Structure 1
């Protein structure tokens, strides 16, 4: 059968797209299938089941309204469908292409010492999460498992007894054992159903647990170190850039929250990319070229709420929901998912250059380079052994802070408070630079570690024995992950525009960056 979409417009400006069945005849051979257009949208609920059918029933209207950058949101009366999800249960596994069951160690997770750390983390993050209920659920699951093991052993014993009486032709006793065996099998079937139900509930609830916190994580941002002097600003960067034809905004066919970079400012953007790229490569990082859209599993591994339109943009297609983040930590999660790395391959350091799409930013109007929804930045990701996470974390922070210290600006290193954490974060430090026009510090780089929070969800492992290969290893450990932003380029451009103004109203490119500025190509 085939369907046709009928569009009717309302006075409110919204458009309802519904599918009406035209006939029951099969599609003629050779007829091209309609090619659905992808639609930027916000999901209504946390769907995690399956792909939508090729021909949606007429009872599934889709509301499309023009709302900010998102073209609309799906107002589907039924469940939204996703292609892959950490929250996909066993009962729904046949409807999706990939099911990822996290590798939780519940004995370690609910150890008395770790429970105290979890309670502290939940309290400081101000989350509404009932940890006692989760522990009770786990204990109940263990009781059901013990009952299942008892019933299995009882079933085997009855089988053996029934065989013995059958050989001895004792029909009366044999019949009793058969009746008892039937009763045990029925109870075992009920116990298995209860176990599966409790197991699904336990895993889904555990996925919502936050990471524990580093002992140094403060309740308010704490300044660790300050370097440089506060620069004198003659004009703010928007005014200075406009007057010198370095940037422009308010274009009719361009989104109001973005801008164009011109001349030296466009070259400086490229110089900053080369400056940071060269520094990262010299310290052992490998460059990646990453996609812009990801399936939900890559974001859910970090605790991102994909149903929250303030956290991520959603692209709804006919097959699945994709999430528009651009260059982000999801790139490394998707690449290393289900990987078993050699012991000697760690630590692995990588970075990616590209555009990041920030759903948390106000993009209704252009307020400055420091507040862009769509921005150039460089993301970093590291995998390391469980006992070397602290050293690798400190090396990256020190490298970035020393690099920024060479620029003519004031910066500070901050231990970030728990209020700004994702659920996956264990510790985070940020480098902030002083922007004279706002009289505030703005984050230009950050580094955070997640311990094994991400790797347990995505099964990123390495051999526990350094002498064993990945293929032959029996016991494996989950790699600890470190992520962050090496440079938030628009913020740094804004600071440099205000810090490097000359008295004759011209822009002076810092000496540290001149060698990275692209040279003009001579004519042939």
Structure 2
């Protein structure tokens, strides 16, 4: 419980309702961000704050008369209380001793300086608000301070006496005074380096990836090609569905009989095609910590694409099958070059809160669906990752050429790219009844954007994994969504005349399990 006193009156609020109650008053309590993962923690629930009946002050620390600031520090570890940093990917120096492990991404500032104009263009055409020049100037200042630090350390070494040296008292006194002065100067330099570093990294982590030369600048995608697939003879089947069950989350639909079997058949079909191409199958979790989301350029506290699941200790995010699964798996790993390129995929539920409207707007707009997500790891080379990107796009076209659907392939413009994306192509399919194209699949390259943030590296062929740490290079990653069952079920349904029917192509029928039709209860 969260307790506070107004004059002589004692009011007790639950941690869940405190924010709503305070926001309805002119006085607002600002102890932590509104999305802080610790708001339900034991520390939060045990805090007791004393406030004056003041309607002008908006900060607890202003209530000096009751010494509430000291009161807070006495009741909780204030440094541990503010666990939400400006970036989950970077641990400030002041918080190092409280963190489970230190995070410091390997951002390539030298390349950033060389390609400063390209980065400024990337920021501009993505409509982002990051000052590249400030980032570079701050990095240069840190490098100057590091050089000054080295010089001071060298001077300290020169004034040290070896054991057995005969030194007069006067020289010893002089050396000690000089040593104290150098230590003080080093302390000032180190403090300045830490201060600049704490400012630099959260700002630098907001920078996006560079843009591929083929990415359209602006807001309009470019159509690369269009085609219509051939999936063999179509079979019309009836299926059952129930919308808006009173005990289910609003907007979800129950699929029955042939509809439910079709969903599984689509996944088996895609998995079979990927297995033939040598992909490694993963079984991945559905919930991830915020650091994995931020590595892809998503804002864990502001994104509208994931569900936040809060516990007493931490916050996790419900994504299901997604590129986040692979980013989390390969985090802080070193891959042998003989295992590159590495191709893998995962099959499972996917959750997208952006589509959570509280009503059913078609299978293609469902907030819960099944997906097949792929990932590729390559050596630190644009040429190699571009090759895998083209291979994935080609594989995508081969897959959808086996389905009787009208498709088009688009190059996505800069304004629609996530910060981690170097380029992205999407495959859209035509829905005849609603007369619209909808995204069914996509492939995108992230080069070393994710690997530098999560320290995913590789070693050269023949190199010892325990040695040559300085020669470890960052892998490039290519990701893709190959199947969205919700979109395909909607497309097959719109091929049929009746809304309770769908046309299943022969390509998929061979993956439908043989079963005896069950009589389902009527509702």
Q: TM exceeds 0.5?
A: yes
Partner of 2:395: 399
| Equivalent in 490, 512, 519 of residue 514 of structure 2 | 519
Task: Give CA deviations for 1:212-269 in whole Å, capped at 9, x if unaligned.
Answer: 01000013211001012899xxxxxxxx99xx55322022112222111112111111
Q: SS state of the match for residue 341, structure 1?
A: strand
| Equivalent in 5, 13, 17 of residue 14 of structure 2 | 17
Mapped partners of 1:53, 1:183: distance in 2: 46
Q: SS state of the match for residue 181, structure 1?
A: helix
| Equivalent in 193, 207, 210 of residue 208 of structure 2 | 210
Asked whether the 8 Å contact 1:378–1:487 carries over to 2, the reply is yes
Mapped partners of 2:41, 2:99: distance in 1: 10
Q: SS state of the match for residue 354, structure 2?
A: coil
Partner of 2:57: none
Mapped partners of 2:434, 2:97: distance in 1: 54
Asked whether the 8 Å contact 1:49–1:96 carries over to 2, the reply is no
> How far apart are residue 44 of structure 1 and its match?
4.0
TM normalised by structure 2 equals 0.80
* Match status 1:453 vs 2:449: yes
Q: In 2 relative to 1, CA 369–522 (structure 1 residues): closer, same or farther, beyond 3 Å?
A: closer
* Alignment coverage as a number of residue pairs: 456
Partner of 1:354: 348
Q: SS state of the match for residue 504, structure 2?
A: coil
Partner of 1:343: 337
Mapped partners of 1:131, 1:48: distance in 2: 30
Mapped partners of 1:210, 1:229: distance in 2: 36
Mapped partners of 2:176, 2:148: distance in 1: 20
| Aligned Cα root-mean-square deviation (Å) | 3.1
Mapped partners of 1:50, 1:110: distance in 2: 40
> How far apart are residue 108 of structure 1 and its match?
2.3
Asked whether the 8 Å contact 2:2–2:46 carries over to 1, the reply is no
Q: In 2 relative to 1, CA 59–488 (structure 1 residues): closer, same or farther, beyond 3 Å?
A: farther
Partner of 1:87: 90
Asked whether the 8 Å contact 2:239–2:259 carries over to 1, the reply is no
> How far apart are residue 173 of structure 1 and its match?
4.1
Mapped partners of 1:202, 1:505: distance in 2: 57
| Equivalent in 410, 415, 424 of residue 419 of structure 1 | 415
Task: Give CA deviations for 1:88-131 in whole Å, capped at 9, x if unaligned.
Answer: 223212323233221223222322xx212111100100111111
Partner of 2:71: none
Mapped partners of 1:18, 1:506: distance in 2: 49
Mapped partners of 1:199, 1:427: distance in 2: 30
| Equivalent in 508, 518, 524 of residue 503 of structure 2 | 508
Within 5 Å, which residues of 2 pair with 1:63-462?
Answer: 81=83, 85-111=88-114, 114-160=115-161, 167-169=166-168, 171-219=169-217, 220-228=220-228, 245-387=239-381, 388-462=384-458
> How far apart are residue 52 of structure 1 and its match?
4.8
Asked whether the 8 Å contact 1:228–1:405 carries over to 2, the reply is yes
Mapped partners of 1:364, 1:435: distance in 2: 23
Mapped partners of 2:152, 2:35: distance in 1: 37
Q: SS state of the match for residue 360, structure 1?
A: helix
> How far apart are residue 156 of structure 1 and its match?
2.0
Mapped partners of 2:255, 2:517: distance in 1: 23
TM normalised by structure 1 equals 0.80
Task: Give CA deviations for 1:402-429 in whole Å, capped at 9, x if unaligned.
Answer: 1101211100111111222111000100
Q: In 2 relative to 1, CA 521–478 (structure 1 residues): closer, same or farther, beyond 3 Å?
A: farther
* More displaced stretch, 51-60 vs 121-130: 51-60
The unaligned stretches of length 5 or more in structure 1 are 7-14, 20-42, 62-77, 232-239
Q: SS state of the match for residue 280, structure 1?
A: helix
Mapped partners of 2:176, 2:450: distance in 1: 49
Q: SS state of the match for residue 363, structure 1?
A: coil
Partner of 2:45: 56
Q: In 2 relative to 1, CA 205–505 (structure 1 residues): closer, same or farther, beyond 3 Å?
A: closer
Asked whether the 8 Å contact 2:376–2:478 carries over to 1, the reply is yes
Asked whether the 8 Å contact 1:305–1:311 carries over to 2, the reply is no
